[in-house]
Structure 1
Amino acid sequence: MKRAAASMHHVMISMEEKPVSGVVYQCLHCDAKVLAEQLLLTTEIKCPNCGYRVLRKVRSPVVKRIKAR
């Protein structure tokens, strides 16, 4: 289990980096960014940095415009 915990530390991304694929979540307690793939490695959904159990999905800042007919 120590190996999984060590590898999870490297999965965390910074604000400048963009994920290769997948969804990014943000911890509401410590603001750490976590990939969805990283959350699948554990049995519980919680922040690997602080252990807080409330995460929110990070939305892209791009606004998509849809033309209505």
Structure 2
Amino acid sequence: MFLGCGRFRGASEGSTQMVASVFWKRIRHAAETDQKEREKLVTAWVAQLKKGLAAIAIAKSSQQFGREEETK
């Protein structure tokens, strides 16, 4: 039975601390996993953004090259 403040009836002090330790390790692992997933998403988004910007730069460059050819 839960008694509050992280204690269970019949649980020794050592086992209560062990349960709390395991709990926080799991929480920390889950948070790190979430962060890694967010980093993957951001990295993929930045890669797509770079590809788009490169395509725009190439298009602008070819437009400029076309204008230079017209003036010659």
Q: Above 0.5 in TM-score?
A: no
- Normalised to the residue count of structure 1, the TM-score between the two structures is 0.21
The structure whose Rg is larger is 2
Flag the structure with more relative contact order, 1 or 2, with Cα contacts below 8 A and sequence separation at least 6. 1
Higher strand share: 1
- Normalised to the residue count of structure 2, the TM-score between the two structures is 0.20
